Structure 1
Amino acid sequence: MTLKPWREVAVPHQDVLKGTFQQAEFAADLSRVHAGSATEEYQNPVLFFQRTFITEGMRLLLDSVVKRLAGKGGDPVIQLQTAFGGGKTHTMLAVYHLAKGEAPASDLQGVPAILDAAGVTELPRARIAVLDGIKSSPNQPVVREGQAIRTLWGDLAWQLGKAEGYALVADADASGTSPGKAALEALLARYAPCVILIDELVAYVRQFEEGKTLTGGTFDSNLSFVQALTEALKAVPTAVLLASLPESDKEAGSQRGVKALEALAHYFGRVQALWKPVATEEAFEIVRRRLFTSINDKLAMESVCRAFADFYTTHRDDFPAETQEGRYYQRLLQAYPIHPEVFDRLYEDWSSLDNFQRTRGVLKLMAKVIHRLWKDGNNDPLILPGSLPLYDADVRNEAIYYLPQGWDPVIERDVDGERAETTEIEAKDPRLGSVQACRRAARAIFLGSAPGSTNQLARGLEQERVLLGSVLPGQQVGLFKDALRRLNDRLHYLNHANNRFWLDTRPNLRREMEERKRRFQDKEDVFPAIRERVQRGLASGVFGGIHVFTDSGDVPDDWALRLVVLPPDAAFTRSGQSVGLERATEILKKRGDAPRFKQNRLIFLAADYDSVSRLKDHVRSYLAWRSIVADYKDNRIVLDNLMARQASASLEQAEETVRRMIRETYKWLLAPMQEARPGKGLSELRWEHFQLNPGAQNWSQEIERVLKENELLITEWAPIHLARVLKDWFWKDDAREVSALSVWQQSCQQLYLPRLKDDTVLQMTMAAGAESRDFFGFAQGKEDGRYVGFSYGRRHLPILDASLLLIEPSAAAAHLEALHAAEEASRAKGAEASGGAATSSVLAGGGTPRAGDSAKGGYATGSTTAGQVVKKQFYGSIELDPFQAKKQFADLVDEVVQQFTTRPGVKVKVTVEIQAESASGFDGSLQRVVKENCNVLKFKNAEFESGAD
């Protein structure tokens, strides 16, 4: 359902619409009304009561006055003690028009009900005396019809009875002494029913100096007059006095003013009826009557208020608890077309300002607000705090008039206007701009925090109250929450803590941070900070070295696998050629000025082009916050406790943001590749790119995962793949073998070959394929066409050195057959020479002859010739180098022990004897460790001895 705008339901008075109202028109002037020179709305009793809402307090007061004038009781003395601008004078004017009787009571809106309640059919016309403490002068007589009147009591007597009345107090007026209770009682009795209205009495009395007599009497004589007058009023049943006194000592003015207030309050207090008018809800109607003619569509008004109340109930978690109560709907009705939150902030917060008049100040401000909104065609259903047109000079000046210096730039920069940050944010984000979320939220914060930014215990406005002052039914609350987050990030005068927002004339730390951000340069400050964090976040892992933002001359050209991290100004983008690829190609091809040979040992990590600017901005923010915190700790700047906590929290948040942004920015792995096509040579260099997951827990492990899954790096290699590479690229033409070391070195240099983690991967692959005859054979060299140290089809742990050869399987098989044939021929020749039968022999290597076996007699015979002694036992001993024992023992097992274990029926026993001596002796910890380890390894004997003396 579409809600009617307030402008279609409540029409403002003409002076508000046209903007022709004068500031003074909001100030009721009792003396001018008494003199007949006030504006029509105050001078005409009918108009006055049309625009006056009779509050509960005013109704009780008028009831008392009516009863008093009719002789039916009522209070003789009523003291109106309210805050500045609290409606004292307006209340006196209501009594003035009611008592004077210039218009029938039936024509005065709200008055007949009061007369009926008091049981008065017709109110008698009363004589009225008005004593204005500001208008009267203690040392300057007033001349009335030729008669000089010096004192308040002289003026009172003249106003009640002209010359005849004055004659009753003439002597007292001339001497400046109080006429006394009897004289005043006679005066009041003669001219009753009468009403005496005394306004700003303290302002008059405080002008008398101690011990000094003026034409108006003395300080004491005036206090005596007040005392005598209040006593005399009790004796005259149809006489009543209304007097206004300020509520606070500050409003009383000087020390004499405070003293006068205390004395007058004491004397009035003896007979007064103290009255404090205007509750906040009643102020709703006061303002509405003064600013708007009438509500011409009650149904539309109720519909709007119901929509707001239902909206708040639906989103109960986002709005203050009071909006969930049923009576909030009634508050909306009472305040319409102004939202209750506007009144709450003005009456609760702004009225605490020294010079903000409680009712008059609200009227002046809202009159200008309504005039501008009407002129601009504002179509809000209600006038909310977020509706205030602070972009308007008149409205802005009226608001900041009551505030300390310095608020104009706050509004212009952060809150409202063409140059405001809020306007700029909304221009860039149509979601926020469509509902003016930023401006409305900032206006609500201003109205709720500006008057209390220096004196509130809990500073600022809760988020729920900001939303209450800015969101309209049907709008997304989340959009305004997002706007608040944006404002908190961008505004220079906005502060935020403990879910409260407030504006201050002092720039917040964010502005200081923004100014400091401009000091930091990319090369000198930003890049080193990024470099430090990248280095901190990466572990070497599979890489032999990590080079962050390193020049090509400083990246070694060796056999180790290296990760090169490109600087932010060498970012990568998938769309088109990027600086990152150019820089990577430069490092890949050259080391400084020299060519790079081992190109297949480099992997590159590059920044995302679209994220670099944000990363640099966040790093500048971090550096700025870090400098602020450092300056605070070193006492170079002064911060209050709240700002210091905010700075520390912002630094922590900025550091975490930088860490996250580095992961999000450095997300591209770049690997150089080439293809080698038979007969066509090498292809052009191309780059494969793979994206890292920025949310991975461990950055280095994520890089390793991507490398392995995309086969950019091989950490484990199957022998069949090595055999295929050897067949494709190394066993060509007449080359039936290739140096294993050359294979490793070529894999480090050529981009078309697999990229191995290190030479151990190749060594393990060769060892895994050694037992099979499908992949390759081994030799430790080749002499005169014969392989030295030949091994094929048996377990073998090759040592990757310059002599190790990898032999093509068919060539290895042919060589093995040749060795067998040579062995058979040699055996046959030996048998023939000995005259015995031929014997069969089995090589100790399990049928695999080793280079030099025949020369050494390194084989075992299957039978013995006649006359030979059968050797049934073998014993050998060897001393191992303690520093190379592990390698030597492995060779011993392969070359000797396995010769026996592979033969059926052979029992092998291997004993290891360890002897260690120390001239200084072994300490207890070493002895304990060695014994425990020996027990675990099941040593038969393991003892420490003292040795020979």
Structure 2
Amino acid sequence: MLPTVKDACQIHPMAINYAMSEHIENLSDVIERTAADAQEFFSKNFVTKGMESLLQLGLMRLAGKSEQAVFELKQAMGGGKTHSMIALGLLARDAELRNAIVPDLAKETLFGDAKIVAINGRGGFEETFIWGEIAYQLGKESEFSRFWKDGPKAPSEKNWIELIGDIPTLILLDELPPYFDYATTRPVGDGNLAKVTTYALSNLLSASLKLKQCCIVVSNLSGSYEGATTQLRKAISDFEKEANRQAQPITPVDLATHEIYDILRKRLFRSLPDRSVIDSVASAYAAALSEAVKSKSVAKSAEQIADEIHGSYPFHPSVKHVIALFKENESYRQTRGLMQFISKIIKSVWERPDNDVHLIGCQHLNLNISDVREEINKISNLQGAIAHDIASGGMAIAEIVDANSGNNAASQITSLLMAASLSESIDAVKGFTEAQLMECLIAPNQPVIEFQEAFKRFRSDAWYLHRKENDAWYFSNIENLRKRIENRAEKASQPKIDAEMKRRLEEIFQPINRIAYQEVEALPKIDDIRLNGPRICLLLSPDSKAPPEEAQRFWENVTEKNNFCVVTGDGSNLANLEEKTRRIWANTVQLRLYSA
């Protein structure tokens, strides 16, 4: 029997309820952590290629073996920048830790315990400013007091060189935009503190080039601070230009690669199965996909999916592609946001009533779990789509389709599509084509036909599902054409609908040969009927009796019984007729709007 992820994997206790706020790193950790804390830090963190590059280049610089002095960590909020800084700081300050964690690199970079300066721009530094804080952390506050005691004055390049000297020194500058924001509000002479800070830090960067064992790491500045004023944007831009001239960019985490799975496995799982189990899962998925390939439902080969599963297990290979669609959202916190998002998928899988998941994917998100739904809405608000189309305690369209089909195919389809629809970028790539959906959803014991049929049924009733020109399907909080037509039909005034029903009925029963009758009148008021002309066909509203009571009374009270005939029906058919008339009327109005 093919093992499920719950059978084969042991999750970390915090994996189900991962809280991003509890895992936000602070640079002060570099200074405050004990040797045991540092060991634990490295034991639970995966060293990405970006972090490895920073560690190697940074330690080489501190050993005096590299010309590159300044590094800028390029990534959006929550992208592993502070994490990488802490890793470098912990290794730089402790030669013994270097020997334990990176023994080969330690042999190449022979230096003692480096001096560490960790600056977080949210620290304030109200009296001493950033340069005074750097001097304080180096144990040389008095040497720089002249630059802050009587107001802010920027140290020159020479001042920085004299302060730092020839000993290995690592200076970490994180979260600078908040400090620049504050600095723009403090006037200094004809300018402000932001200008003085820019000059002081620019001098620091240039000084570091002349100090053979000085290394500076700056977290990226562009696009990292919301609501920036013109002054703040200029201050950040000025310093960024200076940094760009001297800094080597490094991306701590590449979310487009398999590093995403390495990080998730390291942080969220305690144990994973051996290679043989992963092989069996990969083979089972390959077999399921090969059947779909035969029916030309998907394009991806069985060999491709098997290779990808070996790199992504216990996750479905589609996870990184889905996350790539919305990782640039302004409110999304890259690596930390990824951890929290995946935590909600794991929670959904571990709390499923059936133990039937062999690879964890976005299709398994259970949006009936409140904190799962809240997490999705924090990334992008799709509440309308979720409530009506995807998950609403059994009442959403997808859930109704599943109940009628006896499986969960529609819920998987809509959860996956919802995750692929979270991007808020302008001209964003959203959604999946049907073939792409099938590639992500096909699993052992869930053939492609189940998903195809469920998707077809779901599409016919969904309100918030849209289709792009490239045939990609996606969710939006804007109602689709079906919903707009239904709204228009529902809100149409009764007189308009009555008139439309009358017009259409008279059109249908319009006499052609004029043998049985010569005129037709639909849904007339009984008192308005006149029988003193040509023979007439009366289309009367039905009721619970046959013939309808109104028609029976009319028959009994008139003398011209041979001058008319009556067409009627039963009450349920009339209600049906009105509903269909409303939809036809709404469709006609919508077509006119599109044609205008």
TM-score (norm: length of structure 1) = 0.54
Q: Contact conserved, 1:53 with 1:286, CA < 8 A, in 2?
A: yes
**AA in 2 matched with 1:481:** Q
**AA in 1 matched with 2:237:** E
- In angstroms, what is the RMSD of aligned CA positions? 4.2
Within the alignment, does 1:124 sit opposite 2:116 as a pair?
A: no
- For the residue of structure 2 that corresponds to 1:339, the secondary structure is coil
Quick one: structure 1 residues 450 and 153, their matched pair in 2 at CA, closer, same or farther if it must change by over 3 Å?
closer
Out of 390, 396, 402, the position equivalent to 1:421 is 396
The 2-side partners of 1:327 and 1:62 are apart by 34
**AA in 1 matched with 2:418:** F
Q: Which residue of 1 aligns with 2:502?
A: 528
Within the alignment, does 1:623 sit opposite 2:585 as a pair?
A: yes
- For the residue of structure 2 that corresponds to 1:57, the secondary structure is helix
Q: Which residue of 2 aligns with 1:200?
A: 175
Quick one: structure 1 residues 332 and 542, their matched pair in 2 at CA, closer, same or farther if it must change by over 3 Å?
farther
**AA in 2 matched with 1:504:** S
Query: Does 607-616 or 273-282 show the bigger shift?
Result: 607-616
Out of 475, 479, 489, the position equivalent to 2:460 is 489
The 2-side partners of 1:69 and 1:527 are apart by 85
**AA in 2 matched with 1:86:** G
Q: Which residue of 1 aligns with 2:80?
A: 87
Q: Which residue of 2 aligns with 1:467?
A: 438
Q: Which residue of 1 aligns with 2:163?
A: 187
**Identical positions, percent:** 22
The 2-side partners of 1:403 and 1:330 are apart by 32
Q: CA deviation at 1:6?
A: 1.6
Q: Contact conserved, 2:178 with 2:225, CA < 8 A, in 1?
A: no
**AA in 1 matched with 2:68:** D
Q: Contact conserved, 1:529 with 1:619, CA < 8 A, in 2?
A: no
**AA in 2 matched with 1:230:** L
Q: CA deviation at 1:534?
A: 2.7
- For the residue of structure 1 that corresponds to 2:108, the secondary structure is coil
Q: Which residue of 2 aligns with 1:346?
A: 323
Q: Which residue of 2 aligns with 1:34?
A: 31
The 2-side partners of 1:505 and 1:620 are apart by 25
Q: Contact conserved, 2:399 with 2:410, CA < 8 A, in 1?
A: no
The 1-side partners of 2:296 and 2:559 are apart by 67
The 2-side partners of 1:297 and 1:545 are apart by 85
Q: CA deviation at 1:595?
A: 10
Q: CA deviation at 1:491?
A: 2.6
Q: Which residue of 2 aligns with 1:412?
A: 387
Q: Contact conserved, 1:84 with 1:251, CA < 8 A, in 2?
A: no
Q: Contact conserved, 2:289 with 2:442, CA < 8 A, in 1?
A: no
Q: Which residue of 2 aligns with 1:358?
A: 334
**AA in 2 matched with 1:237:** K
> 1:596-607 counterparts in 2 under 5 A?
none
- For the residue of structure 2 that corresponds to 1:241, the secondary structure is strand
Q: Contact conserved, 1:318 with 1:467, CA < 8 A, in 2?
A: no
CA offset digits 1:463-518 (Å, max 9, x no partner): 33343444434324333333333333323333335433332223334334334444
Query: Does 411-420 or 547-556 show the bigger shift?
Result: 547-556
- For the residue of structure 2 that corresponds to 1:174, the secondary structure is coil
Q: Contact conserved, 1:520 with 1:620, CA < 8 A, in 2?
A: no
Quick one: structure 1 residues 539 and 555, their matched pair in 2 at CA, closer, same or farther if it must change by over 3 Å?
farther
The 2-side partners of 1:328 and 1:106 are apart by 40
Out of 419, 426, 438, the position equivalent to 1:455 is 426
Q: Which residue of 2 aligns with 1:248?
A: 223
Q: Contact conserved, 1:245 with 1:261, CA < 8 A, in 2?
A: no
Greater RCO between the two (CA within 8 Å, min separation 6)?
Answer: 2
Q: Contact conserved, 1:421 with 1:491, CA < 8 A, in 2?
A: no
Q: Which residue of 2 aligns with 1:390?
A: 367
Q: CA deviation at 1:199?
A: 0.8
The 2-side partners of 1:79 and 1:549 are apart by 79
Within the alignment, does 1:375 sit opposite 2:372 as a pair?
A: no
Q: Which residue of 2 aligns with 1:134?
A: 122
Q: CA deviation at 1:423?
A: 5.3
Quick one: structure 1 residues 605 and 483, their matched pair in 2 at CA, closer, same or farther if it must change by over 3 Å?
farther
Q: Which residue of 2 aligns with 1:46?
A: 39
**AA in 2 matched with 1:235:** K
**AA in 1 matched with 2:204:** L
**AA in 1 matched with 2:412:** R
Q: Contact conserved, 2:384 with 2:464, CA < 8 A, in 1?
A: no
The 2-side partners of 1:210 and 1:612 are apart by 72
Query: Does 245-254 or 480-489 show the bigger shift?
Result: 245-254
Q: In proportion to residue count, which structure has more helix?
A: 2
**AA in 1 matched with 2:317:** P
Q: Which residue of 2 aligns with 1:158?
A: 136
Q: CA deviation at 1:9?
A: 2.2
- Structure 1, unaligned stretches of length 5 or more? 142-149, 557-561, 571-577, 633-643, 649-949
Q: Which residue of 1 aligns with 2:22?
A: 25
- For the residue of structure 2 that corresponds to 1:243, the secondary structure is strand
Within the alignment, does 1:56 sit opposite 2:88 as a pair?
A: no
The 2-side partners of 1:445 and 1:52 are apart by 31
Q: Which residue of 1 aligns with 2:6?
A: 7
Q: CA deviation at 1:394?
A: 0.7
Q: CA deviation at 1:60?
A: 1.7
Q: Contact conserved, 2:379 with 2:422, CA < 8 A, in 1?
A: no
Quick one: structure 1 residues 592 and 333, their matched pair in 2 at CA, closer, same or farther if it must change by over 3 Å?
farther
CA offset digits 1:291-313 (Å, max 9, x no partner): 22231243223332343344344
Q: CA deviation at 1:334?
A: 2.8
Q: CA deviation at 1:211?
A: 8.4
**AA in 2 matched with 1:418:** G
Out of 397, 403, 411, the position equivalent to 2:380 is 403
Quick one: structure 1 residues 306 and 132, their matched pair in 2 at CA, closer, same or farther if it must change by over 3 Å?
same
**AA in 2 matched with 1:622:** I
Q: Which residue of 2 aligns with 1:169?
A: 144
- Structure 2, unaligned stretches of length 5 or more? none
TM-score (norm: length of structure 2) = 0.82
Q: Contact conserved, 2:536 with 2:563, CA < 8 A, in 1?
A: no
CA offset digits 1:793-821 (Å, max 9, x no partner): xxxxxxxxxxxxxxxxxxxxxxxxxxxxx
Quick one: structure 1 residues 76 and 507, their matched pair in 2 at CA, closer, same or farther if it must change by over 3 Å?
same
Q: Contact conserved, 1:516 with 1:624, CA < 8 A, in 2?
A: yes
**AA in 1 matched with 2:273:** N
Q: Contact conserved, 1:527 with 1:567, CA < 8 A, in 2?
A: no
Q: CA deviation at 1:99?
A: 1.5
The 1-side partners of 2:309 and 2:203 are apart by 48
Quick one: structure 1 residues 528 and 308, their matched pair in 2 at CA, closer, same or farther if it must change by over 3 Å?
farther
Q: Contact conserved, 2:391 with 2:399, CA < 8 A, in 1?
A: no
Q: CA deviation at 1:197?
A: 0.9
The structure with the largest alpha-carbon Rg is: 1
Within the alignment, does 1:430 sit opposite 2:404 as a pair?
A: yes
- For the residue of structure 2 that corresponds to 1:495, the secondary structure is strand
Q: CA deviation at 1:88?
A: 1.0
Q: CA deviation at 1:64?
A: 0.8
**AA in 1 matched with 2:12:** H
Q: CA deviation at 1:269?
A: 2.4
The 1-side partners of 2:576 and 2:274 are apart by 54
Q: Which residue of 1 aligns with 2:476?
A: 504
Q: Contact conserved, 2:465 with 2:475, CA < 8 A, in 1?
A: yes
- For the residue of structure 1 that corresponds to 2:422, the secondary structure is helix
Q: CA deviation at 1:398?
A: 1.6
Q: CA deviation at 1:391?
A: 0.9
- For the residue of structure 2 that corresponds to 1:128, the secondary structure is strand
The 1-side partners of 2:225 and 2:512 are apart by 70
Out of 446, 456, 474, the position equivalent to 2:418 is 446
> 1:699-848 counterparts in 2 under 5 A?
none
- For the residue of structure 1 that corresponds to 2:71, the secondary structure is strand
Q: Contact conserved, 2:205 with 2:243, CA < 8 A, in 1?
A: yes
Quick one: structure 1 residues 597 and 194, their matched pair in 2 at CA, closer, same or farther if it must change by over 3 Å?
closer
